[in-house]
Amino acid sequence: MRWSELFIPTLRDDPAHAEAASHRLLLRGGFIRQLAAGHYSMLPIGQRVRAKVDGIIREEMDAIGGQQVHLPALHPAEVWRQSGRWEAMGEEMFRLEDRKGVDHCLGMTHEEVIALLAGEVFSYRDLPQIWYQIQTKFRDEPRPKAGVLRVREFTMKDSYSLDVDQAGLDVAFDLHHQAYTAIFRRCGLEAMDVVASSGAMGGSESVEFMVPSPAGEDWIVTCDGCDYRANLERAVSVTPEIEDGPSQGRTEPLATPGIRTIRALADAHPDRAAPERQIKTLVYVVDGKLTLVLLRGDHELLEQKLVDTLGVANLRPAHPDEIRPALGADPGSLGAVGVQHLPIIADHGLAGRRNLVTGANRDDWHLTSVDVGRDIEVERWADLRGVSLGEQCTRCCGTLDVWRGIEVGHIFKLGDRYSRAMGAMVQNAQGDSTPIVMGSYGIGVERTMAAVVEHSHDRRGIVWPVSVSPYHVVITVLRADDPQTLAVGERLYNELTAAGVEALLDDRPERPGVKFADAELIGVPYRITVGPRKLAEGLVELTTRADMGTVEVATVEVTERVVRLVNAALSAD
RNA sequence: CGGGCUGUGGCGCAGCUUGGCAGCGCGCCUGCUUUGGGAGCAGGAGGUCGUCGGUUCAAAUCCGACCAGCCCGACCA
């Protein structure tokens, strides 16, 4: 294509209000424009990049036997009511009514619709199946941010596996794991697979694909001694033993006027109330019911772990006016000693502990010499605490690191939750009717694009890998008004195009600086510079965007050289 | 939803304190010159100053409400 005929509205200045590198550079480079918070238009070169990512995804999905489908984005509420998610999805789902007053929603995901289709599979002989689509999803995010990294309307590749049993699901899951690894590698990303929480999807196992980036919104825990890696929501670490000393026989009250925090109590009584010797008592409302959540004083609750442990959707911290009638004190003086009427869930870090300090359920008083087993009736033990930087790995005793990542993909083993709800049954080899075992697998397409930019840019702009770049090579004609120079540019363009290389001919009547700056901003991996001076010696220049290295090449040889470079880059996948 | 900030030609901003002709840079259009790292000169086009209401002889400017956007947090398959 001739640049002079394209719509590539590059901006000379950084846009205000664009912090994340991908947001800033995709805007400046003329790839995207914002319509509203969380809704972006893809401009021509942005669409080309997205099509490249789509193409890689399709190739890899087809390679594992996936069949592409296309499902409606607008769903009747009835379908979601059948699975119970019409209520469970809450405010994140866009809902609307048609003219007859019937409820509908914009699809956030398609387990229900797929499970309905799966109802047309009757025999295990027709399994396994892998169905996928690349389609727009809608989620009413409370806070869209960072350009296309977190939006309310986006393209997702979602696929679904159907199997007769768990062993089949394991195979489909592994196939997707391999396909995702290949997809992200081909997009130039170093995506890491980490153990993850299944959240509201349900299911037995899930793995996220994370790209390390400060722009990411998830926290990832990795070990420096082994290959342990997990989302913070699932990560565990060694809890060092604390020496509590002998039991004191019974609890003792301690006047603590005005003290409301773990820190303040530790400062007031450093001898016996260090944070690790206190019990942190939190009160949550779980499905409408007050529940006490206990952790060691120096540990933080990771709410997702509580959600996963209890298997509930509705959970929030209790308000003080709900707590006082139940426990008789305000937050700051709460404890679980003697509490019989509320469920108590405690973190493993408190197991077997003695001589601890906790609130007395009486304002301005605490209790000392508290033994967890003796004085507190824990109904359920669980891993509830968040891992911190520098703690020990449970597998190898190595040191844990915590860093930010962008979630570009997530794969789930769902089981039969949706097939049961939607009536997707097959007959197995024994002739018994059995629910289809499903898996669900997603990739955020624009988020993957943005992750590539986050991962690969410099002060000049984006550095696309050949595989997803809007063009493979840009031919920068320095004097587009000089017929001979332009003719050489056009000849190279025609040769490259004929050889299957996607070339962009910069024939604009701009000065060289403008053309160089734009080419670097939009990140095309190779640039051929055609100027009258070098041309007189039969030479052009070939510049590699990644390192900005430039070599002079004979005009007659440059096409072959670029074809070789591009093909090498594409086949390296 | 809580906290902070911002809304003025396409982009980046000034003007607001102290009310009085709506400005600057870039970009855009025309012409001439220029052409290896975001050119120069000359002449132009383009703005309901986020919206609504109030105060006033007079509002971009003061007051109120609302809307939108950005950042932090909460939230988030």
Do A179 and A58 reside in the same domain of the chain?
yes
Tens of pLDDT, residue by residue over A221-270, are 888 888 888 888 877 777 777 777 777 778 778 777 777 777 777 777 77
ipTM rounded to 2 decimals: 0.87
Distance A16 CA to B58 C1' (A): 34
Whether residue A99 is contained in a domain is answered as no
Residues A216 and A253: their CA atoms lie apart, in Å, by: 46
Q: Cβ of residue A78 near strand B, that is under 7 Å?
A: no
Q: What is the pLDDT of residue A14?
A: 84
Answer whether residue A29 shows pLDDT above 80: yes
Residues 193-212 of A with CB under 7 A from strand B: 198-201
Q: Do residues A207 and A326 share a domain?
A: no
Check residue A517 and give its pLDDT: 93
| Residue A419 confidence (pLDDT) above 90 | yes
The CATH number for A47's domain is 3.30.930.10
Nucleotide nearest to A142 (CA to C1'): B75
User: Could you tell me which residues come within 8 angstroms of residue A54 by beta carbon, excluding any fewer than 6 positions away?
Assistant: A134, A155, A157, A445
Position A201 scores a pLDDT of 59
Q: In this predicted model, what pLDDT tens digit does every residue of A84-112 receive, in sequence order?
A: 888 888 788 888 888 888 989 999 999 99
What per-residue confidence (pLDDT) applies to A375? 77
CA of A16 to C1' of B5 (A): 12
What per-residue confidence (pLDDT) applies to A314?
66
CA dihedral A40, A41, A47, A51 (to 10 degrees): 50
Last residue of a domain, one of A347, A382, A417: A382
Q: How many CB atoms lie within 10 A of CB A21?
A: 21
Query: Does residue A464 register a pLDDT over 80?
Result: yes
Protein-to-nucleotide distance from the CA of A378 to the C1' of B41, whole angstroms: 85
Element (H, E) at A530: strand A526-530
Angstrom distance (rounded) from CA A422 to CA A570:
43
Residue A246 maps to a domain: no
**Mean pLDDT, range A372-386, rounded to an integer:** 80
A3-12, A38-47, A130-139, A366-375: which has the minimum mean pLDDT? A366-375
Full strand arrangement of the beta sheet holding A315-317:
A315-317, A279-286, A289-296, A344-347, A380-382
Residues A263, A344: one domain? yes
Question: Could you tell me if A180 and A36 lie in one domain?
Answer: yes
Least confident of A106-115, A129-138, A318-327, A444-453: A318-327
- Clarify whether residues A336 and A281 are in a common domain: yes
**3-state secondary structure (DSSP) of residue A155:** strand
Residues A153 and A263 in one domain: no
Instruction: Determine if strand B comes within 7 Å of the CB of A34.
Output: yes
A393: helix, strand or coil:
coil
- Residue A478 pLDDT level (bands cut at 50, 70, 90): very high
Same domain, A188 and A259: no
The confidence score (pLDDT) of residue A198 equals 66
Looking up residue A310, the CATH number of its domain turns out to be: 3.90.960.10
pLDDT of residue A447: 93
Whether residue A392 lies inside any domain: the answer is no
Is any atom of nucleic acid chain B found less than 7 Å from the CB of residue A520? yes
pLDDT of the residue at A240: 75
d(CA A371, CA A84): 42
Per the structure, the residue whose CA is closest to nucleotide B38 at C1' is: A514
- Looking at the predicted structure, is the pLDDT value of residue A548 above 80? yes
In this structure, is residue A158 part of a structural domain? yes
Q: What is the pLDDT of residue A313?
A: 63
Residues A510 and A552 occupy one common structural domain: yes
Residue A466, domain member (yes or no): no
A77: in domain:
no
Greater model confidence, A314 or A471: A471
Residue numbers in A 406-445, CB below 7 Å of strand B? 410, 442
CA at A79, C1' at B66: how many angstroms apart?
37
Check whether residue A312 and residue A439 sit in a common domain: no
Q: Which of A137-141, A328-332, A444-448: highest mean pLDDT?
A: A444-448
Q: Are residues A24 and A165 in the same domain?
A: yes
Closest residue to B77 (CA to C1') is A201
Beta strand pairing call for A74-76 and A95-97: unpaired
End-to-end CA distance of chain A: 26
Average pLDDT taken over every residue of chain A:
88
Positive or negative: CA dihedral A165, A171, A176, A181 = positive
Q: Place A477 in a pLDDT band, splitting at 50, 70 and 90.
A: very high
Among candidate residues A172, A171, A161, the one with its CA nearest the CA of residue A438? A161
Q: Is the CB of A531 under 7 A from strand B?
A: yes
Neighbours of A449 (CB within 10 A): 28
Q: Which residues, including other chains, have CB under 8 Å from residue A410's CB and lie 6 or more apart?
A: A196, A206, A207, A208, A209, A441, A442
pLDDT for position A337: 77
**Is A413 a domain residue?**
yes
Alpha-carbon span A46 to A26, nearest angstrom: 8
Q: Considering only residues 323-362 of protein chain A, which place a Cβ less than 7 A from any atom of strand B?
A: none
Identify the residues numbered 258 to 317 in chain A whose C-beta atom is closer than 7 Å to any atom of strand B: 303-304
User: Which nucleotides of chain B have an atom under 7 angstroms from any protein CB?
Assistant: 1-2, 11-13, 25-27, 34-39, 68-77
A561 and A483 both lie in a single domain: yes
A194-225: pLDDT as tens digits: 888 766 555 678 889 999 888 888 888 888 88
Residue A269 maps to a domain: yes
The residue segments making up the domain with residue A176 are 16-69+110-235+402-454
Between the CA of residue A86 and those of A90, A107, A279, what are the distances in Å?
A: 7, 11, 39
Among all protein residues, pick the one whose CA is nearest to the C1' atom of B73.
A143
Rounded Cα distance between A205 and A194, Å, is 11
Which CATH number does the domain housing residue A495 bear? Answer: 3.40.50.800
For the four alpha carbons of A189, A190, A195 and A197, in that order, the dihedral sign comes to: negative
Give, in Å, how far the C1' of B8 lies from the CA of A14.
Answer: 19
| pLDDT at position A379 over 90 | no
Asked if the Cβ of residue A481 lies within 7 A of any atom of strand B, the reply is: yes
Q: Which residue has the higher pLDDT, A485 or A346?
A: A485
Is A173 within 8 Å of A413 (Cβ atoms)?
A: yes
Phi, psi angle pair for A323, to nearest 5°? -80, -45
- Per-residue pLDDT tens for A316-355? 777 777 777 777 777 777 877 777 787 788 888 877 787 7
Q: Which nucleotide is nearest to A109 (CA to C1')?
A: B77
- For residues A464 and A27, the answer to whether their CB atoms sit within 8 Å is no
How many domains does chain A divide into? 3
Q: Are A344 and A446 in a shared domain?
A: no
CA dihedral sign, ordered A326, A329, A332, A338: negative
Residue A568 has pLDDT above 90, yes or no: yes
Q: How many CB atoms lie within 10 A of CB A213?
A: 21
Average pLDDT (A483-503) is 95
Beta-bridge partners for A358: A367
